[in-house]
């Protein structure tokens, strides 16, 4: 059995430490108030049993709470007071060096919570450690100086989650939709060097990867680019190649136009192949300043093309992108595996979604890619045009910023819709199950607590906004001065981009299922409980509309992609309310509005049901269906894709893509429980449990993770049922 120390280090449970702590307090009270040695041993044993029953590593604070409870149950009130005083004194002594301890545990790779905080960061690498160390200092400053005490307290208690506090001390924002078109067509500046409009497709791809890396180092969330912005450079290369080929053949007295075109197209395809390969390998191998590959999404939407030639060239790029992703990338052993990034999004539209449509072959290729490598994810142009309607009454289709954070419709001062060059200011997430449990099931009390918690979130979100307010463009020239997000002057403040809907700020939420289950006794998929679930969602939207009107800031509802926070929230609920069957008996809570991972439901019913909630989460949402190996059943994948097109805006299929370096097993690596009760990954063929020799890829939050997960998320992955 393991416990988590205050530093985050995970160590073996030691019952003697509990006994010794009780003894120290016991020695300081009068004889009549003391426990016998046998009683002390008994209390320590009861605490040990309770820790074992929790099926997870408990932290020191929880153990001390258990000791206090046992002393109170034994009616040893003076002793309990003495123990509490001893605990408080020790706590005060630790205040000065808690951050130091955490940093030291990071360096020695002993901090279990941080090691599994981000499934795409390797915590043993110097650059990641450096980022985490800086993050601990930033969080310390944020908690002590920058945030109000009630926000810090609510965050620490798991009532809300103030995202990315490790970056809050700096004037940084969350995620963005990079205006790659402006930067390529009009030039940009990278690290003080002027980059002019590229004269070939391959050069455009090279510049794009440099932009991606620079952007990733100046914000902390996801970013997205569109392949449409690269498409014009295919024809630039075509004309250049054709000229070279014509000159070569002319030197040999050959003027055959058909031959010139044939050779030119062959060379052009090779350049497209190399350009796409450059993007894939650069993104995978680049390390940004936070120690991970850029969290980038590549958008594939034929409808963005401005003419038929550009559309066909875009189709060529998309085809090559899908082919290379199907192949994958080689690991250090030379085996083709699934990379986490770039994330791919493919738009289902009228010209590609049905057999016989012009680009249906691309959709078939996308289906094969999903079956093999878990991407692309799918946006329905049909549903998005219906959902994302601007003030002029026009619908728009565009990509999210990273894994699911969507901008709201916006019309600029020229009366034109605009999405590229916009961004999200940050996120604060509300723990919905905590509201339900705090109400005790009283519906009137629920809504009162709900409003109070929303007010707390509003206060926290305004802290995020005000932290960005006054930021000078010089803080991140690539973003604010050189086209990624704006073309501001040196020394100019970014404030005008924070208002009027140009950027968004997100109210996240988690655990709708558990919230509804506690208040109604039923899953939100039940027709009797569903109206309450929708009412909970609508209430958040109404609040955001109220705040937007008051502040002229685009507040938006965001289905939070809980990764480490799912474990944090679950532990907080267990600590505050105990183990409640069906509500707090897991080490995770459900992401956003999703159907619970253990609920038996078919893929089509799940997608149809969740589409109603996705519409009420305009700032970000994604739905998924869990499927088995589909590589030999592409028609079934296509059926799901067609259903997505007709029924839901944004969805994905979760498959498995694993590899064991010990025995060469290429299948699903399984989750087992070790002798300490900890969930571990194991090869079903050879029993290998060495995570450094297992390549495991799972989609957990809308994106693929490859560096493993905390115990809460691992349990959630283990509990998933198939929907197809």
Q: Is 109 noted as a catalytic residue in this protein?
A: no
Segment 485-512 shows an average pLDDT of: 97
- Rounded CA-CA distance 34/95 in Å is 30
- Rounded CA-CA distance 106/635 in Å is 48
Q: Among 51, 205, 403, 701, which one carries the catalytic annotation? A: 403
Give me the pLDDT at residue 707, please. Answer: 62
DSSP state of 146: I
Residue 266 lies in a domain: yes
What is the band of 403 on the pLDDT scale with cuts at 50, 70, 90?
confident
Q: Is 457 noted as a catalytic residue in this protein?
A: no
Q: Is 403 noted as a catalytic residue in this protein?
A: yes
Segment 45-51 shows an average pLDDT of: 90
Positive or negative: CA dihedral 215, 219, 220, 225: negative
How far is the CA of 631 from the CAs of 352, 369, 634, 675, 710, in angstroms? 21, 9, 6, 36, 29
What is the band of 539 on the pLDDT scale with cuts at 50, 70, 90?
very high
% of the chain surpassing 90 pLDDT: 69
Residues 244 and 305 in one domain: yes
DSSP state of 417: B
Give me the pLDDT at residue 7, please. Answer: 57
Neighbours of 130 (CB within 10 A): 15
Please indicate whether residue 340 or residue 626 has the higher confidence score (pLDDT): 626
- Note the pLDDT tens digit of each residue in 177-204: 999 999 999 999 998 999 999 999 999 9
- Rounded CA-CA distance 656/671 in Å is 13
- Note the pLDDT tens digit of each residue in 588-607: 999 999 999 999 999 999 99
Give me the pLDDT at residue 113, please. Answer: 54
Residues 6+ apart with CB under 8 A from 550: none
Give me the pLDDT at residue 141, please. Answer: 85
Q: Is 424 noted as a catalytic residue in this protein?
A: yes
Q: Among 51, 66, 172, 175, which one carries the catalytic annotation? A: 175
Residue 269 lies in a domain: yes
Segment 469-495 shows an average pLDDT of: 97
Give me the pLDDT at residue 119, please. Answer: 47
Tokens of 76: 């040893």
Q: Among 352, 424, 591, 657, which one carries the catalytic annotation? A: 424
- Note the pLDDT tens digit of each residue in 688-724: 999 888 988 888 766 777 767 778 888 898 999 999 9
Residues 54 and 148 in one domain: yes
Evaluate whether 557 touches 507 at the Cβ level (below 8 Å).
yes
What is the band of 285 on the pLDDT scale with cuts at 50, 70, 90?
confident
Residues 6+ apart with CB under 8 A from 682: 669, 670, 671, 672, 688, 689
Instruction: Check pLDDT > 70 for residue 118.
Output: no
Residue 602 lies in a domain: no
Q: Is 328 noted as a catalytic residue in this protein?
A: no
C-alpha count within 13 angstroms, C-beta hemisphere, residue 503: 25
What is the band of 4 on the pLDDT scale with cuts at 50, 70, 90?
confident
Residues 116 and 221 in one domain: no
Give me the pLDDT at residue 93, please. Answer: 54
Using the structure block, give the residue that is written with the tokens 């004309």: 239
Residue 243 lies in a domain: yes
Residues 141 and 68 in one domain: yes
Residues 181 and 153 in one domain: no
Of 297, 325, 341, which marks where a domain is finished? 341
Q: Among 369, 374, 401, 515, which one carries the catalytic annotation? A: 401
Say what angle helices 60-73 and 37-53 make with each other, to 10 degrees. 130
Residues 322 and 200 in one domain: yes
Domains contained in the chain, number: 2
The length of the chain in residues reads 724
Give me the pLDDT at residue 704, please. Answer: 78
In the 3-class helix/strand/coil scheme, how is 268-305 assigned residue by residue?
HHHHHHHHHHHHHHHHHHCCCCCCCCCCEEEEECHHHC
Tokens of 391: 């003030």
Tokens of 472: 């000078």
Segment 164-183 shows an average pLDDT of: 94
Residues 26 and 121 in one domain: yes
Q: Among 563, 610, 652, 682, which one carries the catalytic annotation? A: 563
Q: Among 135, 508, 620, 702, which one carries the catalytic annotation? A: 702
CA Rg value for the chain = 27
Q: Work out the burial of residue 289: count CB atoms within 10 Å of its CB; fewer than 13 is exposed, 13-18 middle, 19 or more buried.
A: middle
- Rounded CA-CA distance 368/375 in Å is 9
Task: Tell me the pLDDT of the chain averaged across its residues.
Answer: 90
Instruction: Check pLDDT > 50 for residue 167.
Output: yes
- Rounded CA-CA distance 198/184 in Å is 7
- Note the pLDDT tens digit of each residue in 631-658: 999 999 999 999 999 999 999 999 887 8
Residues 213 and 89 in one domain: no
- Note the pLDDT tens digit of each residue in 50-108: 888 876 678 888 888 899 889 888 888 888 888 877 776 666 555 545 555 655 554 45
Of 124, 158, 192, which marks where a domain is finished? 158
Closest Cα partner for 724 from 644, 613, 612, 611?
644
Q: What are phi and psi of 679, to 5 degrees?
A: -80, 130
Evaluate whether 111 touches 7 at the Cβ level (below 8 Å).
yes
Positive or negative: CA dihedral 482, 486, 492, 493: negative
Instruction: Check pLDDT > 70 for residue 583.
Output: yes
Q: Is 405 noted as a catalytic residue in this protein?
A: yes
Residue 421 lies in a domain: no
Segment 357-384 shows an average pLDDT of: 97
Give me the pLDDT at residue 289, please. Answer: 53
DSSP state of 198: P
| Cα–chain center distance at 306 | 32
Residues 6+ apart with CB under 8 A from 401: 174, 175, 176, 177, 221, 222, 223, 224, 297, 407, 423, 424
Segment 205-213 shows an average pLDDT of: 95
- Rounded CA-CA distance 519/536 in Å is 11
Residues 225 and 97 in one domain: no
- Rounded CA-CA distance 652/345 in Å is 9
Q: Is 558 noted as a catalytic residue in this protein?
A: yes
Instruction: Check pLDDT > 80 for residue 325.
Output: yes
Give me the pLDDT at residue 94, please. Answer: 52
Say what angle helices 530-551 and 512-520 make with each other, to 10 degrees. 130
Instruction: Check pLDDT > 90 for residue 676.
Output: no
Give me the pLDDT at residue 697, please. Answer: 85
Instruction: Check pLDDT > 70 for residue 6.
Output: no
Residues 115 and 233 in one domain: no
Range of the structural domain that residue 244 is part of: 176-341
What is the band of 284 on the pLDDT scale with cuts at 50, 70, 90?
confident
Q: Among 398, 558, 645, 659, which one carries the catalytic annotation? A: 558
Of 307, 341, 375, which marks where a domain is finished? 341
Residue 85 lies in a domain: yes
Please indicate whether residue 694 or residue 6 has the higher confidence score (pLDDT): 694
Residue 88 lies in a domain: yes
Residue 294 lies in a domain: yes
Give me the pLDDT at residue 32, please. Answer: 86
> Using omega within 30 degrees of 0 as the cis cutoff, is the peptide bond preceding 249 cis?
no
How far is the CA of 518 from the CAs of 91, 126, 208, 335, 448, in angstroms? 35, 44, 49, 47, 17
Residues 144 and 234 in one domain: no
What is the band of 292 on the pLDDT scale with cuts at 50, 70, 90?
low
Evaluate whether 211 touches 178 at the Cβ level (below 8 Å).
yes
Segment 452-464 shows an average pLDDT of: 98
Residues 144 and 236 in one domain: no
For the chain, percent helix, then strand, then coil, each to nearest 5?
A: 50, 15, 35
Q: Among 7, 111, 237, 405, which one carries the catalytic annotation? A: 405
Q: Among 118, 174, 226, 591, which one carries the catalytic annotation? A: 174
Closest Cα partner for 181 from 419, 343, 501?
419
Q: Is 463 noted as a catalytic residue in this protein?
A: no
Give me the pLDDT at residue 692, please. Answer: 85
Give me the pLDDT at residue 29, please. Answer: 86
Tokens of 243: 């000229």
Give me the pLDDT at residue 109, please. Answer: 56
Q: Work out the burial of residue 205: count CB atoms within 10 Å of its CB; fewer than 13 is exposed, 13-18 middle, 19 or more buried.
A: buried
Tokens of 124: 């043993």
Report H helices in 225-256: 232-251
């Amino acid at each position: 059995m393991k416990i988590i120390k205050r530093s985050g280090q995970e160590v073996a449970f030691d019952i003697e430490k509990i006994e010794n702590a009780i003894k120290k307090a016991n020695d300081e009270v009068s004889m009549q108030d003391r426990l016998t040695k046998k009683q002390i041993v008994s209390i320590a044993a009861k605490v040990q049993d309770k820790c074992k029953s929790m099926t997870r590593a408990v932290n020191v604070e929880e153990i001390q709470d258990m000791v206090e409870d046992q002393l109170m149950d034994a009616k040893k009130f003076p002793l309990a007071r003495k123990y509490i005083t001893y605990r408080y004194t020790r706590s005060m002594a630790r205040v000065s060096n808690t951050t130091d301890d955490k940093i030291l545990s990071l360096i020695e790779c002993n901090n279990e919570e941080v090691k599994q905080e981000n499934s795409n960061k390797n915590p043993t690498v110097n650059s990641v450690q450096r980022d985490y160390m800086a993050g601990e200092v930033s969080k310390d400053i944020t908690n002590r100086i920058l945030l109000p005490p009630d926000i810090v307290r609510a965050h620490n208690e798991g009532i809300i989650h103030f995202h990315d506090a490790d970056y809050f001390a700096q004037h940084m924002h969350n995620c963005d939709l990079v205006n790659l078109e402006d930067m390529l067509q009009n030039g940009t500046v990278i690290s003080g060097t002027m980059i002019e409009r590229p004269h070939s497709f391959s050069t455009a791809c090279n510049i794009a990867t440099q932009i991606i890396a620079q952007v990733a180092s100046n914000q902390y969330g996801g970013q997205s680019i569109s392949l449409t912005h690269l498409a014009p450079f295919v024809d630039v290369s075509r004309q250049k190649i054709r000229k070279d080929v014509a000159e070569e053949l002319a030197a040999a007295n050959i003027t055959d136009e058909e031959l010139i075109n044939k050779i030119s197209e062959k060379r052009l395809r090779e350049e497209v192949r190399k350009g796409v390969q450059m993007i894939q390998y650069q993104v995978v191998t680049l390390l940004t300043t936070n120690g991970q590959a850029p969290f980038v999404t590549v958008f594939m939407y034929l409808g963005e093309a401005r003419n038929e030639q550009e559309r066909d060239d875009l189709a060529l790029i998309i085809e090559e992108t899908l082919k290379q992703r199907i192949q994958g990338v080689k690991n250090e052993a030379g085996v083709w595996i699934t990379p986490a990034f770039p994330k791919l999004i493919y738009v289902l539209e009228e010209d590609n979604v049905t057999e016989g449509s012009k680009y249906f072959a691309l959709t078939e290729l996308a289906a094969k890619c999903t079956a093999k490598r878990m991407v692309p994810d799918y946006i329905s142009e049909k549903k998005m045009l219906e959902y994302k309607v601007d003030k002029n009454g026009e619908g728009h289709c565009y990509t999210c910023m990273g894994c699911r954070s969507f901008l709201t419709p916006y019309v600029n001062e020229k009366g034109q819709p605009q999405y590229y060059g916009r961004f999200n200011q940050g996120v604060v997430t509300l723990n919905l199950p905590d509201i339900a449990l705090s109400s005790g099931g009283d519906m009137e009390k629920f809504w009162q607590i709900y409003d109070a918690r929303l007010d707390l979130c509003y206060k926290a979100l305004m802290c995020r906004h005000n932290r960005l307010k006054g930021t000078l463009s010089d803080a991140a020239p690539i973003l604010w001065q050189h086209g990624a997000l704006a073309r501001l002057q040196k020394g100019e403040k970014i404030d005008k981009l924070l208002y009027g809907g140009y950027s968004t700020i997100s109210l996240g939420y988690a655990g709708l299922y558990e919230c509804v289950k506690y208040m109604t006794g039923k899953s939100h998929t039940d027709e009797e409980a569903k109206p309450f679930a929708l009412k909970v969602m609508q209430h958040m939207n109404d609040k955001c509309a109220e705040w937007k009107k008051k502040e002229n800031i685009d507040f938006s509802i965001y289905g939070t992609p809980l990764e480490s926070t799912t474990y944090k929230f679950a532990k907080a609920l267990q600590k505050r309310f105990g183990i409640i069957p069906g509500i707090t008996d897991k080490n995770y809570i459900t992401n956003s509005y999703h159907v619970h991972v253990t609920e038996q439901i078919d893929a089509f019913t799940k997608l149809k049901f969740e589409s109603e909630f996705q519409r009420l989460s305009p700032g970000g949402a994604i739905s998924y269906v869990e499927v088995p190996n589909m590589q030999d059943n592409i028609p079934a994948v296509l059926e799901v894709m067609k259903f997505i097109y007709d029924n839901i805006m944004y969805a994905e299929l979760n498959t498995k893509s694993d590899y064991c370096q010990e025995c060469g097993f290429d299948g699903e690596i399984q989750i087992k429980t070790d002798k300490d009760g900890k969930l571990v990954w194991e090869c079903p063929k050879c029993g290998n449990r060495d995570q450094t020799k297992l390549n495991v890829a799972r989609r957990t939050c809308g994106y693929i993770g490859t560096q493993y997960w905390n115990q809460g998320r691992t349990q959630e992955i283990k509990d998933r049922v198939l929907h197809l």
